Each structure stands twice: as structure tokens, then as C-alpha cells.
Amino acid sequence: MWSSIEQIIKPDTLSEASVLLKESGSVLFAGGTYLVSLKDAGVHTLLDINHLLSDEIKMHGDEIHVDAGCTLQEIVNFDDARLNGAVLSACPSKNIRNQRTIGGEIARMRLDSDLLVFLFAAKAKLLLSHAETPIEVSDWYGNGIIVKVIIPTHHVKLERVALLDSAPAYVIVGYNEMQDIISVCVGGKISKIMFFQTKPEPAEADVRKFMDEVEASFSNDHLGTPAYKRHLVSSLLQEMAVAK
Amino acid sequence: MKVIGQDTQRVDGEALVRGNAVFADDIKLNNVLHVKILHSPVAHAKILSIDVSRAQALEGVEAVFTHKDFKTHYYTTAGQGYPEPGPRDMRILDSTVRFVGDRVAFVAAETLEIAEEALGLIEVEYDELPTIFDVEEAMTSNISLHSESGKSGIHDAAHNVAAHLDAEIGDIIKTLESSKFVFEGTYSTPFVQMASIEPHISLTWLDENNRLVIRTSTQVPFHVRRIVAEVMDIPVSKIRVIKPRIGGGFGGKQEILNEELVAAVTLKTGRPARIEYTRTEELFAARLRHPELVTFRLGFDKNQILTAIDLNILENCGAYGPHALTVMSVTAQKALSMYKAPSIRVNGDGVYTNLPIGGAYRGYGAPQAFFPLESLMDEAANAMNIDPIELRLKNIFKVGDDIPIAKILGEGREGFPMVLYSTEVAACLKQGRELSGWEQLRSEKQIGRYRRGVGVAVAGQGSGIPGIDMGAAFIKMNEDASFNLQVGATDLGTGSDTALAQIAAEVLGVSVDKIIVYSSDTDMTPFDTGAYASSTTYISGSAVKKAAENCKAMILEQGRLLLDNDKAEIEGTFVVGGDGKQISFEDICTKSFYTDEQKQIMGTASHMSYDSPPPFNATFAEVEVDTLTGTVRVIKIVSVTDAGQIINPRMAEGQIEGGIPQALGMTLSEFMPFDDKGRPINLDFNSYHIYTARDMPELVVRFADSHEPTGPYGAKAVAEIPINAPAPAVTNAVYNAVGVRIKHLPIRPEVILGAMSKNGAN
């Protein structure tokens, strides 16, 4: 536990948790994870919401409904091939999958999470504690407590480029081609998740603009130049589009 | 042999798998102080002022130490060899910091959290100094990192040269000029970290006689005792060092790291103290493998026989030089002990920079040697249109050959003459060729996105350091014919306690469970230089064998006395008179204790050697290159090793299987970049990628049938050899797959794509 943490509070309701969360220095704690992306010495209160989150996963029509308290291992056990690859790549360790929840995975917004890229590309929706209608994961900016993740019918293909199979990928590309729309998501060692939607046969200028933004979002590091990473995204997208 | 060559159960195995309290931190000390270090955030600076008053005032802080608390005394944290061959360039705390991670101060507090909080309250004013990160620049720069008087053993402080070596046999220039073929290449190997499961951890307390006890995860308990005594200015007799089980060392625990800090806390406060490095600290403030920039020139005659090997080494020591000379010496020595050439030359400089400290890491300079050498041999084979295996077979040293470099270049000083009494590297190559599917893979045309290739490399190592390493053993007998074996040798998770028990058991004719091993306690066990340089089986094992033989001779002598028969001999666990009378080992010992001819049956012996017989290895790598991304996956490794007689096959196999992923990490995934201020970037296992079980290729591990006449029961070393050849085997395989020659590790996928694009290979 971080040395700055002074107390752990177990709110009675998610509403109460939402109110407490607005106080500076408070973070949510669920599934063994502090739901913030970086260690922060200013954090003094953990809001333990484990008891408030459900952990059911089920089919609802063509959609998969996953409660935010579902661990990644429970998702693997649900045995949906569409999800499994992303989950196993995002978290190769079963011990850790038994702790990490899908809610936490989204809340932490780890840019190199294969699962997050998958959910973006799949146009997954989030049901928040304070809202009645779900919003797309790409429209969520960290406000509210996630209670459910809804994964609609999709044809997501996921490609990752990593130094090792067990290592976080430095480029992750999700490609989802539906009848009337294509969604693309790019993650990895990147400054922000890049998301792009278009009708089939997109305008060349739109694609170029997106790819320019993708390139700009990568840094020049030991894993390669932004131009190399752009090349990876471009090549992988072409492969996935051709292989449809 | 009944015990040697058998997969006996490890003597520490049950305790380990049961999770018993066996490691350094598995004891609870009352009233313990937790120690944390304030590491420098800047790469080079003078400390203008340091105010610890706020930290000192924090409730729960017992003591804060800065450079003002210690008199100026320069020492080296590397203990091997005495007097130490490396520079004495380090203080416990200094008023100048030389890399990001250098020690600025340390705090002792009631809890870890308080200690961490106190670090944040120490106010330091730094006068930042110019930095040097590049070795070539360091040698010509007007910045000197170690210009202070009082330091010693530095080759050329003005030019930041911590250590230098040169040697020549024959006339290299003339030989190269007259050679039919000459090949030249410059290659580099990077910083990599040992990544032991157990980090550095040390505990100290004062015993009932006010002696300092240090319980620490070390490979060198006797060096710890000597160095801490020197640094703390107390007699060796006032210190006891205990090495419990260790969760891996790989060389990273071959020098003292924080033992002197906790010792200082305990000596000042009288209270127990504890320090444990975090994983992040391990990655930037412990020790790393020295990066080396190595240039080879190889000359061949018209028959593809080597005429000359010219070697130039530029070693990056980082901010201090504990192993500057010795690691570089091993690079030279191992590179020039593989192939026979009438003319050889080496020139090397170990250079200071404002980067983390280079230290001992499994292989200790040899991986830095064999990556360039074996890459260039591959290039040469291709250029001369000869099978790479055949080229190696033509040029390797053979049994009976003198290895001339060994005499003129020891480890940090002149060496000793060396004749090769055993080598099965040719057999390793031939077996590996079959097991790897070499012929078929080499002949397959590769097309498509994923392309496969196969590569080979050979390597050698040593078995201890000739003329330096020494081990000793003491064996005493008990009434039930069990034996206490006490050795200074250090089992760092390798299973050496078990191997030594097997050697003793073989000599004494008893089962391994009759040997009770106690090792690595400076009060209780005889001296041993420590576990490094692949020395334990060969050096300490020979000491154990001698001690057991002495003990056995005493059993026989005592048996003859008790039987009153000078002709009696040992048969199994009896002394048999041939006149129908016999006496068991149990009875001999029991009578010797209590009734007849009373004495303790025991044996003691020491062993050192001027020989260091090289184990050899041939590694074959099969890789798959993704021509779309440039990434490389290793599909299969075939590793065939000549380690002499194998003492315990399962443990030896474990050594090989452990060394390979470390080598693959250096080759493919372990990136340790720094920003332009010298700050390390990859500070956890999420960004510094070591090989995991999930990443492992298929491993085929074999041992050649071999016997080393100077080793205990024919054994040579096995600990380091597997780490030397995988890197060049992989890069040679990449060349075979896509025609791209990798000269700098780790492999950057972008470099592969760029080179393929240039070659038109994709």
C-alpha cells in the first residue's frame, strides 16, 4: 500500500462512493487495483467498492454484458473466443487476471491494454452508476463509476507488436469492419488511444489525417521512430482489411 | 560411480518447496530499523549542501547519514582477488554524485514508510557538472570523473580510463597483411540486469558478544566480511557474515552492495537494521552488465585457417569501476581461447561514464566477446563460402593445444600457462547439427511474411579463476555414519550444496542424505573466495573431494585400530579385515566418540588451481522473423555443452535452461535506455522485458560425453557457459532468415525492417 494512504472507506452505495470520489485525494479501490493510472503521493483515501460491484457475465441477445466487478479470469472462463485473445494478451498472468477487473482495466486507461483497444474497436458501451443509458467507451472521460460493460456484436481483429509475447505491445491495432461502418483503434506505447470511425471505402484524406495523428501520438524511443510505428499501423490495417 | 552423475534430490529442495524460512529476510528481528537510500536524481553533480534536519526531526527517524558522517576512504565493492585488481574509486557516501542512482544519503527509521517519507525531507543543493555518457567521448573529454587524490588503481583518471589491457603474440600487422582473407566488424552489447527473483537484501545486528552479524543475500560472504571490516574500520574478528538461501545472484551479488550501510546503522545505533532494494532500485542502482563496443579483425589463409585475431575492446564501466579490469580481461581471454591463431592481439580500455555501474553478470565479459566473434565468424564463413560449422571445426583448439593468451593475460594480472586437457566442442557441434535440423533449415527457401532461419555459435568459459580462487571444506563424522560437510562455497540457488554433497557421498561411499551440508557462514565454515567465475564445482568441489578422502582415510585408520588389523580395507560402509571380522562405519564412529581410541573422525582440505579448464558449448537457434513488423521470435534452441563429467544432470540442465532466457533477453527484449540527462527509462518489468515462461522457445539441452582430468571426478563448470552463445546464434539465424546482419544488441525490429528494405529482401 502507498505510504500516503491514511484510510480505507467502504461506502454503502455507489452514490455515496461517487460523492466521496469527488473529494481530493480519494481513489476507488476494486479488484485489488487502485483505479488510477499512476502512483500519486497525494492520495490518502481508498474507497473500497468491491462489495458494491456485481461480477456477472452473460449473453444478452447478441451482446455480452459484463459487470464491472468481473475479473479478467472470469471473462476468460466465460470462454468467448472474441474476448479471450485480448484478455490473455492484456494480462498473461492468471494470478493477476484473478485480481484485475474489467472495470478497473477501463478506469486505469492503460494505453497498452489489448483489452482496452479491443473494447474501443468493438464500440463497447459503459453503463455508469449515475446514468441510465450507456455511453460508448470512446466517449468516457473518467467521470462516474463503471458498473457494466456492454460488448455489441462485432468483428474485431486485433494485432499487436511486442518484443515478447508476454510484454505489453508497443503497437496494438484493433480493426472492426461491420456492414456500414469501420472502426479502428490504435494503442500501445502511445500518448492517447487513437480511435477512428468511417464508412467503408473511406476518403483518402481522412485516412491520411488519422495516420498523421497516429504518428504524432507515438514517441521516438528505443522501440522505434514514430514513422516506423506508423508503418506498423498502416501495414497491419492493410493486412486485416485484406484478410476480411 | 554411484552418486556422481545421478539426479539426486536437492539437499535444500524440500525446505524451498515447503516455503520454509530460508531466505535472508525470513527472520524477524526485534526493534529493527528500516534503511532507505536517497539516490541521486542527477547524473553528475557536486553536493553543495545537504540539510537533513527535517528528516531527522520526523518522528520515527533514528538516524540520517550523509558524506559528512564518514571519513574519506576509497574502496572497491568488488572483492575478488586480493589486493583487488580494480580501482579503489568509491566512498560509502561521497560529496560528488556520478550517476542517476548514486548514493546521496541514507535513513534509518522505525518503519519503511517513515524512512521513505524522510527521504523526501532531505534537502540537497546540487551543483550540476557536465556529463559524459559515451565511452569514446569520455576518453577525449576534458571532464574527469575521478580526479580526486586518494583514489588508486585507476589507469588514467585524466582520460576516464579506469582500466587498460593490451597483449600481443606474434606480429598481428604483418600477419593480417599476408592473410588471404581479412574480415573486420564492430559490434556492441548493452547494459542488462541480472533480474534475480530475490533483490539485494541485508540485515545486521549485534550478537550477545557485541559482534556485528550480517545476514545477506550475497555470493561472497568472506569478501563481505573483509570489505565491511575495512570500510567500517573494525577487525574482521568482530564480524560474522551469514549467507542463507539465495533467490538468484547471477553475479549481481558478487560484490557488496548495501552491507556496509546497514552495518553503519547497527554500529551507530546498536539496533538491528534491514535494507531491501526495490525492483526499480535493482534496475538503476545495483549493478548491470558492462556494455562493450568490440572490434574484431580476423585473418584467414587460403585454406580458411585462422592466421590472426585482432581484438579491440571499449568497455563502459559506468560511474565506478569495481569490475572494470576483470570483466574486460575475461572478454579478451575467452575470445582468444576459442580458436587457434598464430598471431593474436588485444587492446582494451574500460572507461568511466555518468551511467550506472557495470558489475559481474553471469558470463562476466564472455557474452560481450562471443557475440562479435561468432557473428564475424559467420560473416567470414559466408564470404569464404564454407559451412559455418565446418569453419569452426577447422579452427577450434584441440586437446593438447597450448592456449597462449592464458599465460600472458590472467584476470586482472598475468595469467598461468594453460593446456587443453579436454574439449568436446567438435562433438557438441556435430550433435547440435543433427538436433537442430541444420541442413534442412539452411536449404529451405524462405518466402512470405514469416521467414525462418537457423544460426550457430560456439563459446567457451572457464572453471574458476586460475591462481586466485580457493575453496576449503571440513567434514566430520557422526555416530550414525552421517557427515557434516562445512564449506565456505556459496549456493546461490544453483544447487551447489547438493553437488558438493554428491562429491562427498561418492568418496565416502554413503548416500547423499547422509551428508548434512552447512555452507557460507564466516564463523562456522572454512574460507572460500565465493560463488563466481564458474568455480564452485571445480574449485570447492575439489576441496570437498580432498577433505572427504582425508576423512575416509581416518575412518580406515580408525577401523584398522579397532579391528587390530593393518590390512583391513573399506568395503561399502564397513572396514573389513579379511579374517572374518568387520566393523561398520557407525560402530567405528561410536567407539571413537565414547570408548576406544577416542577422537573425532574428520577431514579438512583446501584447493586452488592454476588450471581453469574451459567448458564449451555449441548453440543452434531457429528463429522466425516477421517481415511486416521486424520482430523476431526464437522458435527453438539446441544447446549442447561439454562440461566434463556432469555431477547432477537435472541441476546441470537447469543451469543451461536458466542461462538461455537471460541470453535471449539481452538479444531481443531487455532494453535499458537513458534520456539525455542520463536518467534510466525502463524501471520496472512492465517496460524492461525479461523472458518469461510464456516466451520460451523449445529447448533441446544435451551434454557431451566428456572427462576433465583435473576436475573432481572429471567435472568442469556449467554455470556460465550457456549464456555465451545464444546471442550470436540468434543473430546468425536472423541473417540466415532475412539477410540482415545485426551488429548491435538488443535487436531493434525497425533496424531489421530498414535493412531488409535496403537489401530488397522484403
In DSSP notation, B195-261 reads --SS--EEEEEE-TTS-EEEEE--S-HHHHHHHHHHHHT--GGGEEEE--B-S--TTTTSB-SSHHH
Q: What is the pLDDT of residue A37?
A: 47
Interface with B, mutate which of A96, A111, A163 (most B CBs under 10 A): A163
Same domain, B346 and B366: yes
Total structural domains within chain B:
3
- DSSP H helices, B445-584, are 496-508, 541-563
Closest CA to B712 of B643, B761, B624: B643
How far is residue B19 CA from its own chain's centroid?
A: 26
The CATH number for B213's domain is 3.90.1170.50
B39-68, pLDDT tens digit by residue? 999 999 999 999 999 999 999 999 999 999
CA distance A135 to chain B (A): 31
Q: Which domain holds residue B620?
A: 288-465+611-759
Distance of alpha carbon B335 from alpha carbon B407, whole angstroms: 14
What are the CB-based long-range contacts (under 8 Å, 24+) for B148-152? B148/B96, B150/B72, B150/B74, B151/B74, B151/B87, B151/B88, B151/B89, B152/B74, B152/B87, B152/B88
Is B23 contained in some domain? Answer: no
Report CB contact under 8 Å: B113, A223.
Answer: no
- DSSP H helices, A136-225, are 204-217
How far is residue B535 CA from its own chain's centroid?
A: 10
Total structural domains within chain A:
2
Contacts of A222 in chain B (CB under 8 A): 671, 673, 681, 748
Contacts of A223 in chain B (CB under 8 A): 671, 748-750
CA distances from B158 to B317, B349, B351 (A): 15, 13, 11
Contacts of B753 in chain A (CB under 8 A): 228, 231
Distance of alpha carbon A69 from alpha carbon A104, whole angstroms: 8
> In which region does residue B334 sit, left (phi positive, over 0), alpha (psi from -120 to 50) or beta (all else)?
alpha
Place of cell 585488481: B85
CA distance A159 to chain B (A): 11
Q: Which member of B113, B116, B689 has the closest CB to residue A163?
A: B689
Distance of alpha carbon B217 from alpha carbon B157, whole angstroms: 33
Give the chain A residue whose CA is nearest to the CA of B676.
A221
pTM of the predicted structure, to 2 decimals: 0.96
Closest CA to A197 of A216, A187, A183: A183
Distance of alpha carbon B78 from alpha carbon B290, whole angstroms: 14
Count of CB pairs separated by less than 8 Å, A with B: 61
Is A59 contained in some domain? Answer: no
Asked if residues B175 and B342 have their Cβ atoms less than 8 Å apart, the reply is yes
Q: What is the pLDDT of residue A242?
A: 78
Report CB contact under 8 Å: A163, B692.
Answer: no
Q: Is A166 on the interface with B (CB under 8 A)?
A: yes
Same domain, B225 and B96: yes
Contacts of B749 in chain A (CB under 8 A): 161, 163, 223-224, 228
Same domain, B359 and B450: yes
Q: DSSP 3-state assignment of A133?
A: coil
Closest CA to B660 of B614, B695, B625, B612: B695
Contacts of B681 in chain A (CB under 8 A): 221-222
Is B72 contained in some domain? Answer: yes
A2-26, pLDDT tens digit by residue? 667 788 899 999 888 888 888 888 8
Q: Is A232 on the interface with B (CB under 8 A)?
A: yes
Give the chain A residue whose CA is nearest to the CA of B746.
A222
Q: What is the pLDDT of residue A51?
A: 87
Same domain, B563 and B503: yes
Q: What is the mean pLDDT of residues A179-207?
A: 94
User: Predicted confidence band at A39 (pLDDT cuts at 50, 70, 90)?
Assistant: low
The CATH number for B387's domain is 3.30.365.10
Is B678 contained in some domain? Answer: yes
Q: What is the pLDDT of residue A3?
A: 65
Percent of chain A with pLDDT over 70: 94
Q: Going by C-beta distance under 8 Å and a sequence separation of 6 or more, which residues neighbour residue B709? A: B421, B422
Distance of alpha carbon B591 from alpha carbon B479, whole angstroms: 9
Is A104 contained in some domain? Answer: no
Q: Which member of A162, A166, A224 has the closest CB to residue B692?
A: A166
Helix (H) / strand (E) element for B738: namely helix B726-738
Distance of alpha carbon B569 from alpha carbon B572, whole angstroms: 10
Give the chain B residue whose CA is nearest to the CA of A90.
B686
Same domain, B416 and B554: no
What type of residue is B202? S
Q: Which member of B116, B628, B668 has the closest CB to residue A235?
A: B628
Report CB contact under 8 Å: A221, B113.
Answer: no
What type of residue is B52? V
Is A231 contained in some domain? Answer: yes
End position of a domain, from candidates B574, B589, B608: B608
Q: What is the ipTM of this complex?
A: 0.92
Closest CA to B362 of B718, B16, B613, B703: B718
Report CB contact under 8 Å: A228, B750.
Answer: yes
How far is residue B541 CA from its own chain's centroid?
A: 18
Q: Is A82 on the interface with B (CB under 8 A)?
A: no
CB count within 10 Å of CB B57 equals 11
Q: Is A44 on the interface with B (CB under 8 A)?
A: no
A88-135, pLDDT tens digit by residue? 999 999 999 998 899 989 988 889 999 999 999 999 999 998 888 999
Report CB contact under 8 Å: B629, A235.
Answer: yes
Same domain, B214 and B84: yes
Same domain, B449 and B585: no
Contacts of A94 in chain B (CB under 8 A): none
Q: What is the pLDDT of residue B742?
A: 98
Is B448 contained in some domain? Answer: yes
Same domain, B602 and B615: no
Is A41 contained in some domain? Answer: yes
Is A28 contained in some domain? Answer: yes
Q: What is the pLDDT of residue A15?
A: 87
End position of a domain, from candidates B587, B608, B629: B608
Report CB contact under 8 Å: B748, A166.
Answer: no
Q: Going by C-beta distance under 8 Å and a sequence separation of 6 or more, which residues neighbour residue B634? A: B621, B622, B623, B664, B668, B697, B730
Report CB contact under 8 Å: A161, B631.
Answer: yes
Q: A38 pLDDT exceeds 70? A: no
Q: Is A188 on the interface with B (CB under 8 A)?
A: no
Q: A243 pLDDT exceeds 80? A: no
Contacts of A168 in chain B (CB under 8 A): 686-687
Interface with A, mutate which of B188, B627, B629, B686 (most A CBs under 10 A): B629
Is B182 contained in some domain? Answer: no
Distance of alpha carbon A223 from alpha carbon A225, whole angstroms: 7
Give the chain A residue whose CA is nearest to the CA of B689.
A167
Is A24 contained in some domain? Answer: yes
What are the residue ranges in chain B where pLDDT is below 70?
412, 761-762
Distance of alpha carbon A26 from alpha carbon A43, whole angstroms: 6
CA distance A115 to chain B (A): 16
Report CB contact under 8 Å: B113, A225.
Answer: no
Q: Which domain holds residue A36?
A: 7-48
In the DSSP assignment, the letter for residue B324 is H
Same domain, B661 and B517: no
Is B195 contained in some domain? Answer: no
Q: Is B749 on the interface with A (CB under 8 A)?
A: yes
Is B8 contained in some domain? Answer: no
Task: Give the DSSP per-residue string, B336-375.
Answer: TTSB--SEEEEEEEEEE-SSPPEE--TTTTHHHHHHHHHH
Same domain, B265 and B344: no
Report CB contact under 8 Å: A163, B669.
Answer: yes
Q: Is A212 on the interface with B (CB under 8 A)?
A: no
Place of cell 540442465: B653
Q: Is B446 on the interface with A (CB under 8 A)?
A: no
CA distance A138 to chain B (A): 25
End position of a domain, from candidates B574, B608, B642: B608
Distance of alpha carbon B143 from alpha carbon B129, whole angstroms: 9
B463-478, pLDDT tens digit by residue? 999 999 999 999 999 9
Same domain, B617 and B692: yes
CA distances from B180 to A58, A194, B103 (A): 74, 58, 54
Is B89 contained in some domain? Answer: yes
Contacts of A163 in chain B (CB under 8 A): 631, 668-669, 671, 689, 746, 749
Q: Which member of B669, B748, B749 has the closest CB to residue A167?
A: B669
Q: Which member of B116, B681, B694 has the closest CB to residue A165?
A: B694
Same domain, B85 and B223: yes
CA distance A148 to chain B (A): 28
The strand order across the sheet containing A63-67 reads: A57-60, A63-67, A146-151, A125-128, A135-136
Q: What is the pLDDT of residue B47?
A: 98
Q: Is A92 on the interface with B (CB under 8 A)?
A: yes
CA distance B634 to chain A (A): 10
User: Predicted confidence band at A218 (pLDDT cuts at 50, 70, 90)?
Assistant: very high
Q: Which member of B629, B695, B746 has the closest CB to residue A165?
A: B695
Helix (H) / strand (E) element for B451: namely strand B450-460
Distance of alpha carbon B152 from alpha carbon B74, whole angstroms: 8
Place of cell 538461501: B245
Q: What is the pLDDT of residue A24?
A: 80
Report CB contact under 8 Å: A222, B673.
Answer: yes
